[in-house]
Amino acid sequence: MSRNTKIVLGLLGVFLVLCICAGAAGVFLFIRAGQALDEAMITDPQDAAEVGSRIADYDVPDGYTQSALSMLGFDMVMLTSEEQSDAFILMMQFPDNIDFDREQMEQQVRAQVNRQMGSVGLDLDPVEMRDMEIRGQPVRMQVSEGSSSEGVEYRQWLTVFQGKSGPTMLMISAPVERWDEQAMEAFVASLR
C-alpha cells in the first residue's frame, strides 16, 4: 500500500470516528432535550394555575383541569375537560420581545397541541369572525369548523390577545356535538 493511500485511509478513519462521535452527541442532546421538555411539563393543578396567572387571570370552567408548560420564556396552560379528552382550552403566551405574526403563532400553538393531545388530523375552515373583548381590549375571534380524520365534526375558536407579559394565542376546541357555547363565552369573558 502506498504512503498516499495510507494517509487517505487514515484521514477517512479519523473522519469516520468524528462522524460517529458527532452522531452520538446528537442522540445524547436529542434525549436531553426530550427530558427537559418532560421536566418542564407541569401537571399539578396549583402549579399550573400559577403559570396561567402569568398569562391572565381567569375562571376555570367546571369540569376542566389545568396543566402547563413554562420554558424559554414561553408560558402555556391547557385546560382539558375531565369528561371529554378531545375538548380543551389552550393559552400560549409568547415573550414580549419576540416578534411573531399571527400565522406563526397559530402554527406554534397547533404544533404544541398536536404534541400534547396527539394529532387527530383536524381539517378546519374559517366560518365566522366575531368581535369580542379580552382583558379590556377588542379582539377578533376566528371561528372554524371541520372534521377530524375519524370524521368527528369540530369547532374551534382562535384569537390573539395581549397577555400580562406578551402576545397570547387562545385556542378553544371541541367536537361540535359537545360544544358548550355558553361555557366558552363565559371563559372568554372571565379573562382579565
Query: Does residue 149 share a domain with residue 179?
Result: yes
pLDDT confidence tier of residue 25, bands split at 50, 70 and 90:
low
Could you tell me the end-to-end alpha-carbon distance of the chain, in angstroms, rounded to an integer? 78
Domain of 145 in residue numbering reads as 43-190
Query: Does residue 31 share a domain with residue 104?
Result: no
Q: Can you give the pLDDT at residue 131? A: 96
Q: What is the mean pLDDT of residues 36-65?
A: 88
CB atoms within 10 A of CB 66: 21
- Please give the tally of structural domains in the chain: 2
Query: Does residue 58 share a domain with residue 5?
Result: no
Give dist(CA 154, CA 54) in Å, integer.
29
Beta strand extents in the chain (DSSP E only): 41-42, 64-71, 74-81, 88-93, 123-134, 137-147, 153-162, 167-175
Q: What is the pLDDT of residues 60-114, one digit of tens each?
A: 999 999 999 998 889 999 999 998 888 999 999 988 887 767 677 666 666 655 5
Higher pLDDT pick, 149 / 90: 90
Residue 116 has pLDDT above 70, yes or no: no
Q: Which of 109, 117, 34, 102 is nearest to 74 (CA)?
A: 109
Q: Which of 160, 165, 164, 158 is nearest to 184 (CA)?
A: 158
CATH code for the domain in which residue 108 is found: 3.40.1000.10
Query: Does residue 102 share a domain with residue 170?
Result: yes
Q: In what order do the strands lie in the sheet with 123-134?
A: 41-42, 64-71, 74-81, 88-93, 167-175, 153-162, 137-147, 123-134
Higher pLDDT pick, 130 / 149: 130
Query: Does residue 70 share a domain with residue 2?
Result: no
Give dist(CA 43, CA 48) in Å, integer.
7
Give dist(CA 45, CA 188) in Å, integer.
20
Query: Does residue 130 share a domain with residue 64?
Result: yes
Determine contact, residues 127/149, Cβ cutoff 8 Å. Answer: no
Determine contact, residues 161/168, Cβ cutoff 8 Å. Answer: yes
Query: Does residue 90 share a domain with residue 108?
Result: yes
